[in-house]
Structure 1
Amino acid sequence: MQLPNRLKTPSFLQKLQWIADPVKYIENAVQEYPDIFTGEVIGFGDTLVFVNHPQAIKEILTNDRSTFVASSEVNRILQPIVGDYSLMMLDGESHKQRRQLLMPSFHGERMRAYGHLIINLTENIFSQLPLNKPFSALSTMQEISLQVILQAVFGFYEGERCQQLKHLIPTLVMELFRSPLISSFLFFPFLQRDLGSLTPWGKFLRLREQVDELLDAEIAERRKHLAADRIDILSLLMLARDEAGKQMTDRELHDELINLMISGHETTATVMAWGLYWLLKKPEISEKLLQELHSLGDSPDPMKIFQLPYLTAVCNEAMRIYPVSVMTLPRVVQEPVELLGHQLEPDTIVVGCIYLAHRRTDLYPQPEEFRPERFLERQFSPYEFLPFGGGARGCIGQALATFEMKLVLATILSKYQLGLADQRSERPQRRGVVIRPGNGVKIVITGQRMHQQSPTAMVTTPTL
């Protein structure tokens, strides 16, 4: 099959590069082929056509139920994590119906209900951190994100089951994603063999079994005592009915919770850590954001915080410069089609390259520079700025993730004086299917902010 702009590097070396450093892999490729190229990678189909031109991305995402179809078969890499019945593994009408069933839980008044919960969790976790002692912002953001999942998604506030999941979820994620080498088990199915609890895959399976048992027990118990006034997402999904009046099965609920748990925990924490990194790296941006936050007074309404334009621009720029995922979920060509002057035949697998789209100089001048003002100067289309993917396969939790990111960063910045404990620039590093800060963003708290003081005067960077 003739594919556009095949990279000339030997296939085996390409796959090693893709596993070790996907960002460097695509940055090198785009130097040779600016808009579209074909690479030999591992996972989601071994041969992928990468596209970063906005018009081509639009064609892929807006024709994803006819010419370009999202197929669960090319998402099989994720099956060991999210199971067979989560949204990501469904196709066609089943996917559409499940998405319609899930959407109400992530929008409207539900967000308002989660606002104070997110702020209170952030304040509680940061109040327990020591002054003048470096710590990992990424780890702390993971703790906040985990608590949001336990309370907003699962409805867990206390009890033995809650405490067990609080320990097991980050352990499971860490075991699966702690290094590119361990993550490679996802890309090589033949390595997914249970050789005992001391081997990486064996340890992952046993951790997953423990989480499965706890979730199954919670679902069974919740079925018996389901209260109509509960607002956590698990309860809402249990109450939801599709157009035919059918509810989700226990297995469907289980896999959807696993999907939300794994994807929501790691991805949201990562974007918040990147956001905090850039705010501390650029004190003038922190100063401007503090002035905007200060205009709301003490204890502002969470929805007012969410609507702040400069805060929105800061979060968008953090997701632009280092998106959590380098590409959209793959689409499979169904019929012969021309894309950017290249003929694509059926069964070709195509992805929109989010990272490269966000680095196009014709869209984002000086793309390496962190400059939130670009999002105030113009509005970007969903095919130019797509940190959560797009089309029918766009991230269903993006509203909650964005809401959480804004409230957490606003709460931290408005209440604490912070500085970077490590002045070296953070570089993106693969962690499973996520691109995270390689050094975890080491920061230090140097004091608390007094509301009566000028926000400008409180922006400090410690001398370490």
Structure 2
Amino acid sequence: MAKLVPIPVNRPSWWQMVQWISDPLSFQQKWAKKCGDIFLINLWRYNDNLVVVGSPQLIQEIFNKDATQFDIGRGNQIVAPLVGQNSLFLMDGTRHKRERKLLMPSFHGERLQTYAQQICEITKEVASQWQKDKPFIARTVMQDITLEVIIQVVFGLREGERYQKIKPLLAAMLNMIDSPLPSSFLFLRFLQKDLGAWSPWGKLKHRQLQIRKLLEAEIEDRRTHNFIGTDILSLMMAVRDENGEPMSDLELKDELMTLLFAGHETTATILAWAFYKIHQLPEVRDKIVQELDSLGEKPNPMEIAKLPYLNAVCQETLRMYPVIPVLLPRITKTPMDIGDYHFEAGMALMPSIYLVHYREDLYPQPQEFKPERFLDRQYSPSEFIPFGGGSRRCLGYALALLEMKLVLGTILSSYQLALVDNKPVKIQRRGLTLAPVGGVPLVMKSKRQPKSPSSQKTASLIP
């Protein structure tokens, strides 16, 4: 039986690029209806062999393939201007395995418990600045929290000149690509021209260089004073591979830049979406608060992280609002068959988070926010893919999930919030990510005291 090939989108490449930058979700939805689970797109001056894959079965086969059959680092070049060439994103083969193995211990196991209390304290500090009935933008506040988590938990900085400098630099750099038009710089390489401090790309690169110099100074300072802390940077500097070799300074800086972007921008966005849905649907908020109150006044952070309904709310938010529309490409090195399809060498396969997460056969009524679906069913690694999969699954996914739960739990147990208005919030591109237009305006109505488990039980007995 002859193998199938992906159906190409029959529109000019420039038109496809405009649609991909401005509204990648509607673009995928439209062409998936016309072409099915898999189709070929041609993004003008970027790549003419991109295959969008929305079938969980095909995605599982892709994840199961030997990673050496793909050029994954080359497929991820779009992030290089932001994170540097020595990022895990851009590595393949033995070098990727080595780096991933070196970084893995920092993001799992007992280390997470060490970070949990810090995350709660940072959240309390930021939230304590809210004023009653004074609106604030959820995404901005969440970015304050997640950036502080990165700076303290990853870099180990809590005060001093470097601490004061790095925060506004990073915020300014990210704000330069906060809507579709400036985001086009990441897709159109011919726009990536450093024409000095007055040009957009020159300004971005200048700020990036300043951040890297601050990281370089911090690494050098620690080496000079032989300082070892409990933060992730300390662990990264201390770890050694099988040959006793440490990570180079270039690798350290680029991995830190990767964590800054992958671990702060994305988590802030998904938290903003979570607060939007929780306060749009009072019954969801009530269930979370009841679950939090069952832990008493001062719960252990890891107890919060184990709450099943809170976890389901986080998962449903990740399903419904993918921060990136597709996984970064895996480029085939040689011709290969996957399922009923044949791919020539040089095809860039992009599993679509959006198409998978909105499949009616997996998620009935996918446009509805239903956390209960994650209590009723266990989804496979190719059916729920907010953090990717296979050998390229996001290294920090456990820390990101922990941070989501602790930020939500800490705030919802202590504050009564409300949406400023009930207008539907739209999605727009923000660099490589997708974010809520307007950032979700919220207002703090009052502070609240968690009910004790005993009073909750007594109250439930009253008819």
Taking the TM superposition and a 5 Å limit, the aligned residue runs for 1:314-353 are 314-353=313-352
Query: Which amino acid is 1:296 matched to?
Result: L
Structure 1 vs Structure 2: percent identity of aligned residues?
48
Residue 42 of structure 1: how far off its partner (Å): 5.6
- The answer to whether the 8 Å contact 2:62/2:338 transfers is no
Taking the TM superposition and a 5 Å limit, the aligned residue runs for 1:445-460 are 445-452=444-451
Structure-2 separation of matches of 1:373 and 1:26? 27
Structure-2 separation of matches of 1:438 and 1:86? 30
Residue in structure 1 matched with residue 190 of structure 2 by the alignment: 190
> Which range moves more in the overlay, 5-14 or 371-380?
5-14
Query: Could you report, residue by residue, the CA deviation over 1:228-287 in whole angstroms, capped at 9, with x for unpaired residues?
Result: 4x1100000000001111001111101110110122110010111111111001110110
- Alpha-carbon spacing, 1:45–1:455, altered in 2? closer, same or farther (3 Å): farther
Residue 33 of structure 1: how far off its partner (Å): 2.1
Give the aligned CA root-mean-square deviation in angstroms.
Answer: 1.7
Structure-2 separation of matches of 1:115 and 1:58? 32
Query: Which amino acid is 1:347 matched to?
Result: G
Query: Could you report, residue by residue, the CA deviation over 1:293-352 in whole angstroms, capped at 9, with x for unpaired residues?
Result: 111111111111111111110000000001111111211223333334222112211110
- The answer to whether the 8 Å contact 1:336/1:345 transfers is yes
- The answer to whether the 8 Å contact 1:146/1:265 transfers is yes
Residue in structure 1 matched with residue 461 of structure 2 by the alignment: none
Structure 1 residues without counterparts, runs of 5 or longer:
457-464
> Which range moves more in the overlay, 210-219 or 38-47?
38-47
Residue in structure 2 matched with residue 220 of structure 1 by the alignment: 220
- Alpha-carbon spacing, 1:396–1:414, altered in 2? closer, same or farther (3 Å): same
Equivalences, count: 452
Structure-2 separation of matches of 1:417 and 1:147? 23
Name the TM-score, length of structure 2 as normaliser.
0.95
Residue 43 of structure 1: how far off its partner (Å): 8.1
Residue 6 of structure 1: how far off its partner (Å): 0.9
Residue 451 of structure 1: how far off its partner (Å): 2.4
Structure-1 separation of matches of 2:192 and 2:433? 20
Structure 2 residues without counterparts, runs of 5 or longer:
458-463
Structure-2 separation of matches of 1:268 and 1:238? 25
- Alpha-carbon spacing, 1:42–1:142, altered in 2? closer, same or farther (3 Å): farther
- Alpha-carbon spacing, 1:271–1:42, altered in 2? closer, same or farther (3 Å): farther
Structure-2 separation of matches of 1:71 and 1:288? 42
Residue 213 of structure 1: how far off its partner (Å): 1.3
Residue in structure 1 matched with residue 460 of structure 2 by the alignment: none
- The answer to whether the 8 Å contact 2:50/2:348 transfers is yes
Residue in structure 2 matched with residue 238 of structure 1 by the alignment: 237
SS of 2:401's equivalent in the other structure is: helix
Structure-2 separation of matches of 1:52 and 1:291? 37
Structure-2 separation of matches of 1:96 and 1:87? 9
Query: Which amino acid is 2:154 matched to?
Result: V
Residue in structure 2 matched with residue 179 of structure 1 by the alignment: 179
> Which range moves more in the overlay, 341-350 or 148-157?
341-350
Residue 422 of structure 1: how far off its partner (Å): 2.5
- Alpha-carbon spacing, 1:344–1:275, altered in 2? closer, same or farther (3 Å): same
Taking the TM superposition and a 5 Å limit, the aligned residue runs for 1:264-413 are 264-413=263-412
Residue in structure 2 matched with residue 148 of structure 1 by the alignment: 149
Residue in structure 1 matched with residue 433 of structure 2 by the alignment: 434
Query: Which amino acid is 2:178 matched to?
Result: R
Q: Which among 7, 15, 18 is matched to residue 17 of structure 2?
A: 15
- The answer to whether the 8 Å contact 2:123/2:407 transfers is yes
Structure-2 separation of matches of 1:275 and 1:363? 21
- The answer to whether the 8 Å contact 2:16/2:41 transfers is yes
- Does 2:22 align with 1:33? no
Structure-1 separation of matches of 2:342 and 2:40? 13
Query: Which amino acid is 2:98 matched to?
Result: Q
SS of 1:316's equivalent in the other structure is: helix
- Alpha-carbon spacing, 1:295–1:43, altered in 2? closer, same or farther (3 Å): farther
- The answer to whether the 8 Å contact 2:330/2:348 transfers is yes
Structure-1 separation of matches of 2:101 and 2:76? 21
Query: Which amino acid is 2:431 matched to?
Result: G
- The answer to whether the 8 Å contact 2:428/2:436 transfers is yes
Residue in structure 1 matched with residue 162 of structure 2 by the alignment: 161
Structure-1 separation of matches of 2:377 and 2:434? 27
Residue in structure 2 matched with residue 460 of structure 1 by the alignment: none
Structure-1 separation of matches of 2:372 and 2:104? 31
Structure-2 separation of matches of 1:263 and 1:147? 14
Residue 3 of structure 1: how far off its partner (Å): 4.3
Residue in structure 2 matched with residue 58 of structure 1 by the alignment: 60
Query: Which amino acid is 1:96 matched to?
Result: K
Structure-1 separation of matches of 2:383 and 2:450? 38
- Alpha-carbon spacing, 1:225–1:42, altered in 2? closer, same or farther (3 Å): farther
Query: Which amino acid is 2:186 matched to?
Result: L
Residue 171 of structure 1: how far off its partner (Å): 1.1
Residue in structure 2 matched with residue 139 of structure 1 by the alignment: 140
Residue 62 of structure 1: how far off its partner (Å): 1.0
Structure-2 separation of matches of 1:303 and 1:331? 36
Residue 227 of structure 1: how far off its partner (Å): 3.3
> Which range moves more in the overlay, 94-103 or 13-22?
13-22
Structure-2 separation of matches of 1:263 and 1:46? 26
Structure-1 separation of matches of 2:202 and 2:336? 44
Structure-2 separation of matches of 1:239 and 1:173? 30
Structure-2 separation of matches of 1:178 and 1:360? 29
Structure-1 separation of matches of 2:451 and 2:287? 17
Structure-2 separation of matches of 1:102 and 1:157? 22
Taking the TM superposition and a 5 Å limit, the aligned residue runs for 1:111-150 are 111-150=112-151
- Does 2:452 align with 1:444? no
Name the TM-score, length of structure 1 as normaliser.
0.94
Structure-2 separation of matches of 1:47 and 1:346? 10
- Alpha-carbon spacing, 1:43–1:287, altered in 2? closer, same or farther (3 Å): farther
- The answer to whether the 8 Å contact 1:64/1:391 transfers is no
Residue 45 of structure 1: how far off its partner (Å): 3.2
- Alpha-carbon spacing, 1:366–1:259, altered in 2? closer, same or farther (3 Å): same
Structure-1 separation of matches of 2:267 and 2:278? 17
Query: Could you report, residue by residue, the CA deviation over 1:42-61 in whole angstroms, capped at 9, with x for unpaired residues?
Result: 68733211111111000011
Structure-2 separation of matches of 1:43 and 1:371? 40
Residue 196 of structure 1: how far off its partner (Å): 2.4
Query: Which amino acid is 2:206 matched to?
Result: R
Query: Which amino acid is 2:116 matched to?
Result: G
